[in-house]
Amino acid sequence: MKAKATRILGALGITLALAATPFTARAEGLAGAYLAANQANRDNNYDAAARYYTLALTRDPNSPFLLQNALLTYVAKGDVKRSTAIARKIADGPLGSQLADLVLLSDAIKQEDYSKAADILQKSEQRFSPLLFELLSGWVQLGQGQITATIERFDGMTSPKAMQLFGQYHKALALAVVGDFETADKILQGGEDGNLRINRGSLIAHAEILSQLERNDDALKMLDKALRGTADPSVLHLRDRIAKGGMVDYDFITNAREGAAEVFFTLSSVLSGEQNDRYSLIYARLSEYLRPGYSEAVLLTAEILKDQKQYDLATKTYASLSPDDPMYVNAELGRADALEAAEKYDASIEVLQNLARGHGDIPRIHMSLGDVFRSMERYEDAAAAYSRAIDLIPEPAKNHWFLFYARGIANERTKHWEQAEADFKKALELSPDQPLVLNYYGYSLVEKHQRLEEAQKMIEKAVAARPTDGYITDSLGWIFYTVGKYKEAVAPMERAVELVPLDPVITDHLGDVYWKVGRKREANFQWRRALSFKPDDKVAERIRRKLEVGLDVVLEEEAAKDGN
């Protein structure tokens, strides 16, 4: 359904990349700001881009190009309020833009000026996709008190099927706003294809509606079926409230402004993961603007920013959720992840340790802490954190295989092989034939020269499961090398370098294999390539020695050293 909905959105018309029209700087100062703004824009550095575009606008205040891109960057960085002045100037100009219209429309809805919002929609119909126009029009009509027109609008969204689903979902929400829970329930029940589930919000809305109809048992059954052992904080929180008895308030969408926010969130969710995720970011930011503190929009915005490697903005967005929000733990876990991605490891650990003080019974917190310690190569601390997570899981399920795998790596790195092997076996017991486990376990056996035939079978199985994983393919080539099957090692090792061309260790391995089959000139070439990829000091020293005296001498030297 997501692919169909994406097509329905059509050509959104938002200028989300640098304009194709050449821009001529009118002064040296303008040129500097212009170039800096463009580069920041290309890098998705919205804070810097907004600052430089604003500076450029002081020198050329009527440039459509500068205005449009300044508008984009202000919305993307989350400053929709300040972007409205720019949007007005664009709308008053000769060209206009869909983004300017969306910002002004959102501002009118924010001020609950629905007559103004309706005027903007009427003038902008040709700029908007049919899905966006129809959904927003329905909520603006509700804001004007035109409930019948709202229902007719949503019912008119009949083709294609995905458009009809979105229309009916928002119709149900609009009916719930005016208290018609019976009809809203019938819509959300769906038809022969099952419940109408656009997103998790439709589940929460439906459960609250059932509670309003004094059907708490039905609500609990529906939530339990949806959860199926998973730990969704918002859904669990709602379930606990319903289970305590009594009627739960319907507060998912309570007015037209929140309904419009849900439109933007719905479209942002549909577009998330697309190649140009700026579309998704714009809609998520507008959803936040209309409904401050809406945890779903906050988390989606932060995830998009994190994917764009805008870690500071992502961290700031995650931190905006209140500690009493059911999704607070998820937000803090996301914030820690963003800090880790930014290589701010100490800050990430601080967030997780603070979180553990108040929510120490949540395994995922300790697992995340273990992941950060593992990134820092603090393997003893990582193993301890993973152990705390495991202790909190009385009966590990299939999806917990990664936890044992991660602890196994930490134990292997700290030379606690017996514990590591037990963890790898447990991970495979939970998820048989898991390629990551098979590869690491098998490779570890190769490095220890233990049970090589068993290790080879493990790695071959891992390669079969992930034929495009260069690291696993490298393991297969390396085991052939280790057991002296040098000719058999060539093909997988060449394939590994093809899959991961810039990895120093894999390239070094290919050099060793070439040497052993008599291709010594090619071996030296691969070793030099490996050095150019800046391996760690120990690997680099060994490569330089091989280039000086050859692999055979190095192996003899290492054997003599081990013998002593």
CATH of the domain at 437: 1.25.40
Question: Distance between CA 385 and CA 402 in Å, rounded?
Answer: 14
In the prediction, which pLDDT does 17 show?
43
The verdict on 485 and 464 lying in the same domain is: yes
**What mean pLDDT is predicted for residues 547-563?**
90
564 confidence band (pLDDT: 50, 70, 90): low
**DSSP 3-state of 317:** helix
237 confidence band (pLDDT: 50, 70, 90): confident
227 confidence band (pLDDT: 50, 70, 90): confident
User: Is residue 7 over pLDDT 50?
Assistant: no
The verdict on 452 and 505 lying in the same domain is: no
Count helices and strands in the chain by DSSP H and E runs: 32, 0
25 confidence band (pLDDT: 50, 70, 90): very low
Give the closest residue to 166 by CA, choosing from 272, 298, 9, 282: 9
Give the residue ranges of DSSP H helices in 190-255.
Answer: 200-212, 216-227, 233-243
User: Is residue 19 over pLDDT 70?
Assistant: no
Give the residue ranges of DSSP H helices in 500-550.
Answer: 504-516, 520-532, 537-549
Q: For the segment 419-433, what is each residue's pLDDT rounded down to a tens digit? A: 999 999 999 999 999
User: Is residue 208 over pLDDT 70?
Assistant: yes
In the prediction, which pLDDT does 21 show?
39
Q: For 127, which DSSP code?
A: G
Evaluate whether residue 150 is within a structural domain: no
Domain coverage including residue 521? 501-564
In the prediction, which pLDDT does 40 show?
86
Give the residue ranges of DSSP H helices in 43-113.
Answer: 46-59, 64-76, 80-92, 98-110
Q: For 194, which DSSP code?
A: B
Evaluate whether residue 417 is within a structural domain: no
Contact 411, 420 (CB under 8 A): yes
User: Is residue 13 over pLDDT 70?
Assistant: no
Evaluate whether residue 459 is within a structural domain: yes
In the prediction, which pLDDT does 418 show?
95
**What mean pLDDT is predicted for residues 162-175?**
92
Buried b (16+ CB within 10 A) or exposed e, 169-204: bbbbbbbbbeebbeebbebbeeeeeeebbbeebbbb
Mean pLDDT of the chain: 89
**What mean pLDDT is predicted for residues 314-332?**
93
Pull the structure tokens for residue 385.
């954190």
Q: For the segment 105-115, what is each residue's pLDDT rounded down to a tens digit? A: 999 999 999 99
Bridge partner list, 191: 194
User: Is residue 336 over pLDDT 50?
Assistant: yes
The verdict on 514 and 540 lying in the same domain is: yes
Percent of the chain scored above 90 by pLDDT? 71
Bridge partner list, 194: 191
Evaluate whether residue 277 is within a structural domain: no
The verdict on 439 and 460 lying in the same domain is: yes
**What mean pLDDT is predicted for residues 208-231?**
87
User: Is residue 296 over pLDDT 70?
Assistant: yes
Evaluate whether residue 553 is within a structural domain: yes
Using CB atoms within 10 Å of the CB of residue 425, give its burial: 0 to 12 exposed, 13 to 18 middle, 19+ buried.
middle
In the prediction, which pLDDT does 10 show?
45
Question: Distance between CA 466 and CA 454 in Å, rounded?
Answer: 19
Residue 559 φ/ψ, nearest 5 degrees: -65, -40
User: Is residue 33 over pLDDT 50?
Assistant: yes
Evaluate whether residue 508 is within a structural domain: yes
Question: Distance between CA 554 and CA 301 in Å, rounded?
Answer: 53
Q: 78 vs 226, which has greater pLDDT?
A: 78
The verdict on 525 and 548 lying in the same domain is: yes
Evaluate whether residue 214 is within a structural domain: no
User: Is residue 12 over pLDDT 80?
Assistant: no
User: Is residue 127 over pLDDT 90?
Assistant: no
159 confidence band (pLDDT: 50, 70, 90): confident
In the prediction, which pLDDT does 563 show?
66
Percent of the chain scored above 70 by pLDDT? 92
**What mean pLDDT is predicted for residues 296-301?**
94
User: Is residue 377 over pLDDT 80?
Assistant: yes
Q: 50 vs 226, which has greater pLDDT?
A: 50
Degrees, nearest 5: CA angle 312-365-319 = 30
Contact 423, 404 (CB under 8 A): yes
In the prediction, which pLDDT does 15 show?
44
Residue 191 φ/ψ, nearest 5 degrees: -120, -140
Question: Mean pLDDT highest for which of 151-165, 397-411, 443-457?
Answer: 397-411
In the prediction, which pLDDT does 431 show?
94
306 confidence band (pLDDT: 50, 70, 90): very high
Evaluate whether residue 448 is within a structural domain: yes
**What mean pLDDT is predicted for residues 263-282?**
85
Degrees, nearest 5: CA angle 434-411-383 = 95
Q: For the segment 214-224, what is each residue's pLDDT rounded down to a tens digit? A: 999 999 998 98
In the prediction, which pLDDT does 27 show?
41
**What mean pLDDT is predicted for residues 377-385?**
96
CA 423 vs. chain centroid, Å, equals 28
The verdict on 484 and 520 lying in the same domain is: no
The verdict on 562 and 505 lying in the same domain is: yes
In the prediction, which pLDDT does 193 show?
58
23 confidence band (pLDDT: 50, 70, 90): very low
Number of domains in the chain: 2
Contacts of 511 (CB under 8 A, 6+ apart): 522, 523, 524, 525, 526, 527, 530, 543, 546, 551
270 confidence band (pLDDT: 50, 70, 90): confident
The pTM score is: 0.83
End-to-end CA distance of the chain: 66
